[in-house]
Homo-oligomer: A and B are copies of this chain.
Amino acid sequence: MTFIKDTFSISKPVRLGIVGGGQLGKMMAFEAKRMFMKVIILDPSKDCPAASLADKLIIGDFSDEHKIYDLSKEADIITFEIELANATALSNLEESGFLVHPSPKTLFVIQNKYRQKKFLRENMIEVPDFELVSSEEQLKYYCSTSGFPVLLKACEDSYDGRGNYLIRSENEISKAMTYFSGRQCMVEKFVKFKKEISIMVARNSSGTISYFPVAENIHEDHILKTSIIPARISKETETKAIDLAIMTMKSLKGSGIFGIEMFVDEDDNVLINEIAPRPHNSGHYSIEACSISQFEQHIRAVLDYPLVQPKLLSNAVMINILGPYNYTGPYEISGIDELFAIPGVKIHIYGKLETKPSRKLGHVTIVSNNMDPLLIKRNVEDLLKVRQPSF
């Protein structure tokens, strides 16, 4: 690494390479540029959300090893905002002494859902029961012993719940197997959860761990719609969740920020659902509501700066702005004028040129200590409309 850690140089600023220029890359770039770091982004699209913030944009696929090497030539350190980053190319870079965080080894474990769950179970971290599925017969047998419902999951390349299939009875088994035909799959016992929660946890290379307040997450059609902070859970459950998140980070060892999604089941057990080795949608609230954002915490972690415990400055609700489930194409977002009349509101528009079914186009965070989060959610959803352009 060519930068001196204690010093911000103006003539030789830190050059942060990011694989992926989506909204996570955009929000990371905001924080980096506030501190006068240079941002170099690898993304397939010249119009990606982070494009106009990048000091340099390399157009290419996340999996293209040559493009990842190109990125390394422009950067002092590489991180990623997407699990699809080519772990092998990143590993090669790491082995050659180049800084890549989180470690490609950790990325490799997390990239595959089966590998991730297996790793966690081997490390004594509570996860729902699961196994690899290679045939319909095997799945049938699993269901006959576990009972319904179960979740069939594609182990790789699945985002925003699109890789999950809920099987409620025997006659859905065959359809589910066909749905994921040709892809590696695992089956997971469906957790009857009371709540879905998550914690953003950061770890720097020196081993310091810090965590953000617990978020309560509401999904609709498997896509995160709303986060409520702090989560409406008991102190006891909160402690369990924090302990579990820290234990997970200790076993994972990567540097950076990780989104740890968890279930609280009907008996108040806390189990790991999934881990994201990057900033996470459920941590966006930290930009407005915390003493440090998940994006700055990530940058500090990958550069091995001190990590202090974030403080919640205000309760918050985060509401995703999703494209319509049945429309692909150009769009506009209406209701801005009335939205701005709500105290504590902040809007983020990612600037994706096209919407796709239920695509994440932006989000709204409201900071307030005296609001009903679900009422606020309904108000914002009633106001903001994603629609075809009117001109």
Contacts and interface: CB of A to CB of B under 8 A. Distances in A.
B367 A332 contact: no
Contact of A11 (B330, B340, B367, B368): B330
- Interface SS majority for chain A: loop
Contacts of A348: 34-35
* Size category of the binding interface on chain A: 35 or more
A152 B87 CA distance: 66
A341 interface: yes
A334 B8 CA distance: 6
A216 interface: no
Nearest to A34: B348
Given A34-B349, A305-B336, A311 B343 contact: yes
Contacts of A291: 288, 314, 343-344, 367-368
B341 A308 contact: yes
Contacts of A12: 391
Contacts of A193: none
Contacts of A347: 34-35
A334 B7 contact: yes
A13 B351 CA distance: 9
A7 B333 contact: yes
Interface in A337-377: 337-338, 340-344, 346-353, 362, 367-368
Interface in A259-304: 288-289, 291-292, 296, 300
A350 B336 CA distance: 30
